[in-house]
Structure 1
Amino acid sequence: MKHNEENIIQGLINNGYKARFGTAFDDASNIFKGIAGFSILAFVVYLIASFILSAFVGMLIPGNPVDMVSLMEVIQSGDEDLMNELILEANENPNYLPSIINYLTQSALYPILYSVFTMARKYDTHQNVDFSDLFVHYRDGKFLTLFLLTMAVNVIAAIGFVLCIIPGILVYIFLILSIPLVIFADANVKEAITYSYKVVSKDFGTFAVALLAMVGIIIGGFLLCCVGIIAAMPFTFILIYSLYKHVIGFPGETSEIDEIGTDIYKDNPYMK
């Protein structure tokens, strides 16, 4: 993990802090206006790739087929015992392999969605965003970490939802900064989970409000004839980016704008 970011995180953990959700939300709105096209494209590409791979997996490894003729005969007969027997027979040897492979492929496609974080940072630092940014995490050496982290977070959250729903919600709140920590601070899976939990726990209320806002945005997207979800999902990623920026920041980065007005003679032996 990057040394500067780790020092800042330790300071936040030791001293505490108070984030401003309103400021982060306004910042996210401005960034979204600048990269709306490419961020929406990332979500569309993810959906298309997900559909194609799921269909491909379904053709190669079909689940347990149901004998439709027998099913119709049992329904027409109205015999509940035969119906139960048919259901037990169909579930006797369930084939979970297609579901497992689909889950793995979905996790492998998530870096396309995570490219929105990188687009937001490029826009923030006055760099041009282009189509190739959609696949940046397949070539920057962070794919495996993002893949494993995605599976870990979703599995932990799924266990939480099974236990009593609320633990699953808490998982997503506490680990909301884990993906940006991998992308911007070079954290590994363990560091991303640990530091996200510790940082969020210092200002849990703000991040809880952020998650509720994101859920509301996604629901609003569904209500807009489901088309709005195409814009709602990328916006939630940009909001997470904005929260990360305002809480942890990018201490190891300097842009051309940041360097304007600095002393070019300082620490330069050739210009003294």
Structure 2
Amino acid sequence: MKHNEENNIQQLINGGYKAQFGAAFSDASEIFKGIAGFSILAFIIYFVASTILSSFIGLIIPGNPMNVEDIMEILQSGDENLMNELILEANENPNYLPSFINYFVQSALYPILYSVFVMARKYDTHLNVDFSDIFVHYRDGKFLSLFLLTISVNIIAAIGMVLCLIPGILVYIFLMLSIPLVIFADANVKEAIKYSYKIVSKDFGTFAVALLAIVGILIVGFLLCCVGIVAAMPFTYIIIYALYKQIIGFPGESSEIDEIGTDIYKDNPYMK
């Protein structure tokens, strides 16, 4: 993990802080206006790739040993005995392999969505966002960490949901900063989970409000004929980015202002 970010995080954990969700939301709105096109394209590419691969997995590894046509005939016949036999056979011969493979495939595609974080940062630093940014995490050495973190968070949250709904929700709140910690602070999976939990616990209320807002945005996206989700999903990632920027920031980066006054002759053999 980057030394400057880790020191900054330790100070936040020791001294506490108070985030402003309203300011983060406004910031996210401005950033989204600047990267809407590429961020929406990232979601579309993710969705199309996910759909195609899921269909392919279903074709090569059928989830049910029975022929699809036979199943349809039984359902259309209305014969209760045959339908009961169908249910019993499905229970006796479950095939979860396609679901497991599909889950790992989905997790491997999530870095396409996470590219929105990089786009937001580039826009913030006045750099041009381009098409190649959508696949940035497949070449920047962070794919494995993001892949494993996605699986870990979803498994922990799923366990929480099964035990009781509230623990599952808490997992998503406490680990909200885990992805940007990997992307911007070079945290590994263990560090991302640990530090996200510790940071969020210092201002739990703000992140609870953030999750409610994110859920609300996604619901509105679905209600808009499901088309709105194309914009709603990337916007939620930008909200998380804005919170990360406000709370942790990027202490390891030097701005143009910081570089003003730097001795350009130092360590430059051509300008001595």
For normalisation by structure 1, the TM-score amounts to 0.93
CA distance in 1, matches of 2:45, 2:57: 18
Structure 1 match to 2:258 = 259
Structure 1 match to 2:45 = 45
Q: 1:269 to 1:102 in 2, by over 3 A?
A: closer
Structure 2 match to 1:223 = 223
Deviations 1:162-204 (A, max 9, x none): 1111111100000000000000000000000000000000000
Shift of 1:51: 0.7
Deviations 1:101-125 (A, max 9, x none): 1000000000000000000000000
Structure 2 match to 1:143 = 143
Shift of 1:91: 1.9
Q: 1:70 to 1:43 in 2, by over 3 A?
A: closer
C-alpha contact 2:123 2:129 (8 A) present in aligned 1: yes
CA distance in 2, matches of 1:78, 1:65: 20
Q: Secondary structure at the match of 2:94?
A: coil
CA distance in 1, matches of 2:117, 2:210: 16
C-alpha contact 1:75 1:83 (8 A) present in aligned 2: no
Equivalent residue runs for 1:206-245 within 5 Å: 206-245=206-245
Deviations 1:221-254 (A, max 9, x none): 1111111110000000000000000000000002
Q: Secondary structure at the match of 2:254?
A: coil
Q: Secondary structure at the match of 2:226?
A: coil
CA distance in 1, matches of 2:116, 2:75: 51
Equivalent residue runs for 1:81-120 within 5 Å: 83-120=83-120
Q: 1:134 to 1:91 in 2, by over 3 A?
A: same
CA distance in 2, matches of 1:251, 1:46: 31
Shift of 1:220: 0.7
CA distance in 2, matches of 1:75, 1:41: 41
Shift of 1:217: 0.5
Point out the more displaced range, 203-212 or 219-228: 219-228
Q: 1:76 to 1:135 in 2, by over 3 A?
A: closer
Deviations 1:81-118 (A, max 9, x none): x5434311222121111000100000000000000000
Structure 1 match to 2:170 = 170
CA distance in 2, matches of 1:135, 1:122: 14
Equivalent residue runs for 1:3-82 within 5 Å: 3-66=3-66, 69=70, 72=73, 76=77, 78-79=79-80
Equivalent residue runs for 1:197-208 within 5 Å: 197-208=197-208
The aligned amino acid for 1:43 is F
CA distance in 2, matches of 1:199, 1:193: 10
Q: Secondary structure at the match of 1:91?
A: helix
Structure 2 match to 1:189 = 189
Deviations 1:102-161 (A, max 9, x none): 000000000000000000000000000000000000000000000000000000011111
Point out the more displaced range, 55-64 or 22-31: 55-64
C-alpha contact 1:71 1:86 (8 A) present in aligned 2: no
The aligned amino acid for 2:232 is A
Deviations 1:38-65 (A, max 9, x none): 0000000000000111111111111114
C-alpha contact 2:4 2:252 (8 A) present in aligned 1: yes
C-alpha contact 2:19 2:203 (8 A) present in aligned 1: yes
Q: 1:27 to 1:71 in 2, by over 3 A?
A: closer
C-alpha contact 2:74 2:83 (8 A) present in aligned 1: no
Give aligned-pair identity as a percent. 75
C-alpha contact 1:108 1:147 (8 A) present in aligned 2: yes
Task: Note the residue ranges of structure 2 that are not aligned, 5 or more in a row.
Answer: none
For normalisation by structure 2, the TM-score amounts to 0.93
CA distance in 2, matches of 1:78, 1:66: 17
Please provide the CA RMSD for this pair: 2.0
Deviations 1:13-59 (A, max 9, x none): 11110000011000000000000000000000000000111111111
Structure 2 match to 1:248 = 248
